[in-house]
Amino acid sequence: MESTPRKRRSRSSSFGTIEKLPSGRYRAKYTVGAKRYTAPTPLGLATHETKLDASKALARVQTALADGTWRAPGAPDPDAMTFEQFVEDWRTRSRVQTRTREWHDGLLRNRLLPTFGPMRLVDVTPAVVSAWYAGTAQGTPTAREHAYSLLRTILNDAVRQELLSRNPCKVVGAGRAKPAKEIRPATPSEVLRIADAVPSRYRLMILLAAQCGLRFGELAALRPDSIDLDARVIRVRHSVARTQAGRELKAPKSAAGVRDVALPAGLLGEVQAHLGRWADATWLFPSADSPQPVTDTALRKVFRTAARDAGRPDLTFHHLRHTALTAAAQEGATLRELQALAGHSTVQAALRYQHAEPERMAALAERVAERYGDSPR
Q: Are residues 341 and 280 in the same domain?
A: yes
Asked if residue 147 and residue 206 are part of one domain, the reply reads no
**193 and 63, same structural domain?**
no
**Does the pLDDT of residue 235 top 90, yes or no?**
yes
The mean pLDDT value for 8-21 works out to 72
Domain end among 141, 160, 179? 160
Which one of the listed residues 104, 312, 321, 322 is annotated catalytic? Answer: 321
* 98 and 29 within one domain: no
With respect to residue 4, please indicate whether it lies within any of the assigned structural domains.
no
**Between 133 and 15, residue with greater pLDDT:** 133
Asked whether the beta carbons of 97 and 105 are under 8 A apart, the reply is no
Q: In 3-state terms, the chain is what percent helix, strand and coil (to 5)?
A: 45, 10, 40
Domain co-membership, 283 together with 345: yes
pLDDT over 60 at 179, yes or no = no
Measured from the Cβ of residue 191, the count of other Cβ atoms closer than 10 Å reads: 23
Q: Is residue 168 part of a domain?
A: no
Catalytic site includes residue 318? yes
What is d(CA 51, CA 212) in angstroms, rounded to the nearest whole number? 73
Active-site residue flag, 321: yes
Instruction: Say whether pLDDT at 2 is over 50.
Output: no
- Catalytic residue status for 319: no
Decide if 123 is inside a domain.
Answer: yes
In this structure, what CATH number is given to the domain that contains residue 322? 1.10.443.10
With respect to residue 49, please indicate whether it lies within any of the assigned structural domains: yes
Residue 53 domain-assigned? yes
Residues 126, 198 within the same domain: no
Q: 215, 238, 274, 312: which one is catalytic?
A: 215
Tell me what pLDDT residue 43 has.
83
Q: Domain residues for 97? A: 83-160
Look at residue 5 in the predicted model and tell me its pLDDT: 47
Question: Is the separation of the CB atoms in 248 and 98 below 8 Å?
Answer: yes
Report yes or no on 182 lying in a domain.
Answer: no
The total domain count for the chain is 3
Residue 222 reports pLDDT greater than 70 = yes
Q: Which of 308, 318, 352, 355 is catalytic?
A: 318
215 is an active site residue? yes
- 195 and 331, same structural domain? yes
**Do 196 and 327 belong together in one domain?**
yes
pLDDT recorded at residue 283: 97
Highest average pLDDT, of 67-81, 84-98, 193-207, comes from 193-207
Residue 238 bears catalytic tag? no
- pLDDT more than 90, % of the chain: 55
Indicate whether 89 and 62 sit together in one domain: no
| One domain, residues 213 and 309 | yes
> Measured between alpha carbons, how far is 85 from 70 in angstroms, rounded to an integer?
19
